Amino acid sequence: EILSVVPDGYFGALSELVLRPLEGRYHQLRVHCSQALGAPIVNELEGIYSLAAEKWLQRFCKPLPSSQKRLKGLFLQAVKVIVPAPQIEEPPVAVTVDVAKRFKMLMGHAH
Residues whose CB is less than 8 angstroms from the CB of residue 4 and which lie 6 or more positions away in sequence, other chains included: 15, 16, 107
Residues whose CB is less than 8 angstroms from the CB of residue 9 and which lie 6 or more positions away in sequence, other chains included: 110, 111
Look at residue 110 in the predicted model and tell me its pLDDT.
56
Task: Spell out the alpha helix ranges (H) of 4-45.
Answer: 26-35
Q: What's the pLDDT tens digit per position in 54-89?
A: 999 998 899 999 998 888 899 998 888 888 888 888
Rounded to the nearest angstrom, the gap between the alpha carbon of residue 61 and the centroid of all alpha carbons in its chain is 22
Mean pLDDT, the chain, integer: 88
Look at residue 58 in the predicted model and tell me its pLDDT.
93
Q: What contacts 24+ positions apart, CB below 8 Å, involve 73-82?
A: 73/43, 73/102, 74/30, 74/41, 74/42, 74/43, 74/44, 75/41, 75/42, 75/43, 75/102, 75/103, 75/106, 76/26, 76/29, 76/30, 76/41, 77/103, 78/26
Q: What's the pLDDT tens digit per position in 2-36?
A: 888 888 888 888 998 888 887 767 788 999 999 99
